[in-house]
Each structure stands twice: as C-alpha cells, then as structure tokens.
C-alpha cells in the first residue's frame, strides 16, 4: 500500500522544511530591537497559517461529507482537525515565549491571541465530541455539523474580540509589508513549509484512520465467523484460555 504521491510529498516537504530552517535561522537578519528572538516569528506565523488552513478544511470536508456521505471526507476532516489543533498548540506555545520578553507578559487579551485560544477550545471540543460518539454514522454527521458551525463562529469571535481590544503587531497594513525583504522571504518560505507539513501530516493521519477502520471491520468479520462455527469458537476459547495461563 505504498502511495507514490505520498513519497513525493514527503520528499518535497523535507526539502521545504530544510530551506525554511535555513532561511529563518541563518539567512534572515536579526531584528533591530528583538535580536534573534524575533526568529520565533517564522515558526509562530507559519504554524498559525497552517492551522487556519486546517480548520478551513475541516469545514470544507464536513460540508463535502454531508453532501456526498462518503466516509473518506469524514476521515480527512478528522485528520485535518487533529493537525490543526497540533499547529494551534504550537502557536499558543511559541506566542507566550515570544511575548514574555517583548510585551513583558505571557498573555494579553489581544484579539488575535484571544481568537486563537477560542479556536483551540472549539476544535478540542470537536475532537472530544468525535471521541465520545460510538455510532459511526451519527458521529460523522454530528462532527460535520460541529465543524461547519465552529468555523462560521470564527469570524464573529474575531470581530467581537477586535472591538473589545487590540496590541498585536500589524505587519501587513494597507497592503504593504513593513519588514526587511530577507525577513519577508523567510516568512513566505516558512509559510509554504508549514502548509506542506500540514498536507503531509493530514494525508498520513487520513491513511491511518482508514487502516484503523478497515482493521475494525476485519476484526468484526472474524468474530462473526467464529460465532457461526461452533468448533472454531471452541478452539478460539481454548486459545484464549491458554493465553491467560
């Protein structure tokens, strides 16, 4: 079950991550006031972009599942949500590390921070909800609806929190980017690398989920066979007894 596409994507992602690391850590100049600390931005912003994409895809896959009822879409939504929560966790960890020396606080109630935190809560709830519904069909429908509603909630959360307060650096204002070109380049390459990483991880996780579902089905069929044939059931019973002793 080797997919050629996966190998190619793995290779490309590996190269992109190496290039991103080189550009972020060596090629880009240190920032005038923050020094090397500012290099955290490349990973912080990169994972934030990947996380946004991931949650958008949960919405898309959820809608696609509800229209087509193909379980592959649901597996992709699950994978996307898990990878998205992982990247959001990275954002929420690198953020305070960067903010503590620069803003002199681990946490502030800035719109983007608050939105990211709420986003994290919504999608952790999404994963927990999935985990707590045993029935396959009902879990898929519930998760798809939750993924759609959760994503629709994101802009409202963002606007309401923006009206509440604001200190996040606005790097992109009025369509122009206020950064050294080498920094911009490094940021873009990191953005691409993180998006590729998102695609790779989601693909792998989707495959894992498909394998897990197939294994569950096979196990179910084995039990059915055993239940049909008394002699095999006896043998299976003996085996399990000897396993215990």
Partner 1 sequence: MWTAIWAIVQKDVTLEYRRRWLLASAVLFGFLFVVVLGIAYNGKPLPADAAAGALWMVILFSCVTILLRTSSFEEEQKAWYGLLMAPVDRSAIFYGKLVANTLFLFLVELAVTPSFWVILGVPGPASWLPLVVGLAAGAVGLAAVGTFLLFLTSASEGREILFPVSLIPLTIPLLLAVIRLTAASWTRSDDLFVWYAVAGGYLVLFGLVPWLLFELLVEV
User: Where on the chain is the footprint of partner 1 (CB under 8 A)?
Assistant: 66, 118, 121-122, 125-126, 128-129, 132-135, 137-139, 141-142, 144-146, 148-150, 152-153, 156-157, 159-161, 163-164
**Is the CB of 142 or the CB of 204 nearer to partner 1?**
142
Minimum gap (Å) between residue 130 Cβ and partner 1:
9
Phi, psi of 234 (to 5 degrees): -60, -45
**Is the CB of 165 or the CB of 225 nearer to partner 1?**
165
**Is the CB of 66 or the CB of 72 nearer to partner 1?**
66
Minimum gap (Å) between residue 92 Cβ and partner 1:
14
Rounded alpha-carbon distances, angstroms, from residue 48 to 1, 94, 95, 156, 179:
32, 10, 10, 18, 18
CA distance 80 to 74: 10
Output the CA torsion 149→152→155→159 (10° steps): -60
Minimum gap (Å) between residue 227 Cβ and partner 1:
26
CA distance 171 to 44: 14
Minimum gap (Å) between residue 158 Cβ and partner 1:
9
Backbone region of residue 69 per phi and psi (left: phi > 0; alpha: psi in -120 to 50; beta: other values): left
User: Please, what sign has the CA dihedral across residues 164, 103, 194, 123?
Assistant: negative
**Is the CB of 100 or the CB of 138 nearer to partner 1?**
138
Minimum gap (Å) between residue 107 Cβ and partner 1:
16
**Is the CB of 161 or the CB of 197 nearer to partner 1?**
161
């Amino acid at each position: 079950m080797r997919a050629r596409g996966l190998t190619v994507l793995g290779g490309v992602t590996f190269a992109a991550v190496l290039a991103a690391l080189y550009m972020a850590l060596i090629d880009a100049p240190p920032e005038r006031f923050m020094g090397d600390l500012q290099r955290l931005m490349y990973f912080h912003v990169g994972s934030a972009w990947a996380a946004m994409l991931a949650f958008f895809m949960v919405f898309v896959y959820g809608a696609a599942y509800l229209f087509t009822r193909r379980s592959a879409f649901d597996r992709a939504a699950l994978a996307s949500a898990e990878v998205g929560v992982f990247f959001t966790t990275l954002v929420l960890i690198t953020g305070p590390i960067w903010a503590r020396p620069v803003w002199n606080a681990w946490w502030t109630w800035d719109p983007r921070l608050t939105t990211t935190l709420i986003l994290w809560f919504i999608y952790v709830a999404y994963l927990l909800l999935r985990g707590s519904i045993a029935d396959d069909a009902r879990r898929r429908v519930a998760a798809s609806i939750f993924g759609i509603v959760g994503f629709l909630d994101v802009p409202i959360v963002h606007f309401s929190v923006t009206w509440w307060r604001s200190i996040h650096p606005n790097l992109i204002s009025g369509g122009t980017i206020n950064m050294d070109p080498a920094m911009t380049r490094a940021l873009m390459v990191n953005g691409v690398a993180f998006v590729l990483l998102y695609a790779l991880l989601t693909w792998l996780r989707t495959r894992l989920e498909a394998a897990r579902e197939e294994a569950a089905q096979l196990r179910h069929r084995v039990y059915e066979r055993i239940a049909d044939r008394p002699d095999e059931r006896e043998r299976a019973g003996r085996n399990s007894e000897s396993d215990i002793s």
